[in-house]
Amino acid sequence: MKAHETADESMKNKEKVALNPDQIHIKNLTIDDCGMKDGAFATLMDALVRQGKLTSITYINNEFSQQSVDALSKILGNSAATGSQDQQFQHLECLKLGNLKSGNQNCPGRLIYELMVAVDDHCLKNPLKRLKLQELELGYGTPDFGFDPEYGYGSVHCISKQFEWNPGLLELDISHSKLLPGQLSSLMAALARQYTDAAGNSPSKMMM
């Protein structure tokens, strides 16, 4: 095959786009079952963090390890550059993670815990509105954290803190996640504390 034919074939696989913001800036990102590796996801996040437009990430059925945690933490803590003329900076509002792997294993609970620490650390400045952690190891307790009688274990503790620190959280989905005995009740207790009224009525009493 001649060189120019190869180049023509290559161009068929590429698309020229106009310099339009809606074809360059990415607000909503969905990566579902792409065979995406940890390093590749981190590379993509490192590019998108510089746009400062990303409001929604859906990352399901892919690899998720330390580089992904670090990159997502950077996105969660992203802010408009000091002195920036960009008035259109937007922070992440929706994070949906599900069925993630590290190599051939399920994503370790430690990584989800590290991510949740970042979610908590940045929630005052960049609060999430929607958080989905599906089919993940949420029952992880850190060795130095241990069990907190009020909030439970590591990741559950962080989720409980969201109820307290992030009143703008509209949706939490932790379906099919592996919680240890007592963790769900710990979460419900934290939720009830948040919505107990001044007279001390919990949601169950208020509904009666």
Partner 1 sequence: MYALQQEHCLVMPAFAKIQDYELNLSNQFVNAETIAALSEYILDQTALLNEKVSK
Please identify, using beta-carbon distances, which residue of 67 and 162 lies nearer to partner 1. 67
C-beta of 90 vs 142, nearer to partner 1 = 90
Backbone angles phi, psi at 71, to 5 degrees: -70, -40
Binding of partner 1 by 2 (CB under 8 A): no
Is 172 an interacting residue with respect to partner 1 (CB under 8 A)?
Answer: no
Answer yes or no whether residue 16 interacts with partner 1 by CB under 8 A: yes
Q: How far is the CB of 26 from partner 1 (least distance, A)?
A: 5
Residue 6 near partner 1 by CB under 8 A? no
Closest by alpha carbon to 126, among 78, 197, 178, 163?
78
**Considering the rule CB under 8 A, would residue 180 count as an interface residue with partner 1?**
no
Among 28, 79, 185, 201, binds partner 1 (CB under 8 A): 28
Q: What is the dihedral of CA 149, 154, 155, 161, to 10 degrees?
A: 60
Instruction: Please give the backbone phi and psi of residue 33, each rounded to the nearest 5 degrees, phi first.
Output: 60, 55
Segments in 61-202 forming alpha helices (H): 66-76, 109-122, 154-165, 183-194
* Cβ atoms of 165 and 123 closer than 8 Å: yes
Q: Residue 201 interacts with partner 1 (CB under 8 A)? A: no
Give the residues lining the site for partner 1 (CB under 8 A).
11, 13-19, 21-37, 39-41, 43-44, 46-48, 50-51, 53, 85-86
